[in-house]
Structure 1
């Protein structure tokens, strides 16, 4: 059974844009670099050739990864999301019960996560602790820096 990969529409668009860039712009640029390096002669001691071949290997590996993710993507329409419990796509406002610091997160797919932008992966410890909870609930998260306690003070969609 193929495991679906949940993601938002914007995350799906970004993956498709990266795939297009890697196939239509990066791949030809690398092929050109390999051709130029070959023209320099002896390939056994040609650093440019080896660097270009390594770049090609990295690029093709990422192309395969992107194609797989796009094929397994389950795009979740956030405009249709609602409810009182936290689930994928939710924007959650938390307050740290120790420091009183507020944090805002949106729960997104693994490929879209960017903590600095407030997007946390559905598979992260904090998102797993939030799923199924409601405003007013407290959660405890065992993070790499130790255990943290938060209270959910807001929930929004879209």
Structure 2
């Protein structure tokens, strides 16, 4: 039997997901049911694009609800103790120096549900996130990237 994937969430993200699920199951589900009812009233369902669109919207809604229920039934909250400043944990902000270009960059290590690489939020499951986890300030890490290996030095770990 395979273990369910466990999602690591910050307390804030957990609350956001709970609220989103509540919204989808109450307000949004009613809206979509209304759309379907309205589209049905237009008659012939075989050529009714409004009906197809409403059913499509309902499908997307139900798959998002299922996804949220999956996350919220297999989660752990990232604890404050994990934010020990000696080594990189999920939730830490890490300052690294790109050794090739001598550029400093700052990233926050987050659970996969919160990743947003364009805004410096790196998933713990990404190659970069995995390379940083458990390392100390001063360590050099090598990240395999499509363009070749990139060497970084961890210059600081912040809460």
- TM-score by length of structure 2 reads 0.92
Gaps of 5+ in 2: none
Q: Spell out the pairing of 1:42-53 with structure 2 (5 A cutoff).
A: 42-53=44-55
Number of equivalences: 157
Q: Distance in 1 between matches of 2:82 and 2:142?
A: 29
Q: Spell out the pairing of 1:1-158 with structure 2 (5 A cutoff).
A: 1-78=3-80, 81-157=83-159
Q: Runs of 4 or more off by more than 3 Å in structure 1?
A: none
Q: Distance in 2 between matches of 1:43 and 1:33?
A: 13
Per-residue CA deviation, residues 77-134 of structure 1 (Å, 9 max, x unaligned), is 2366214111221110001111122111111111101112221111000010011211
Higher mean alpha-carbon deviation, 145-154 vs 64-73, is at: 145-154
Q: Is the 8 A contact 2:7 2:113 kept in 1?
A: no
Q: Aligned-pair RMSD on alpha carbons?
A: 1.4
Gaps of 5+ in 1: none
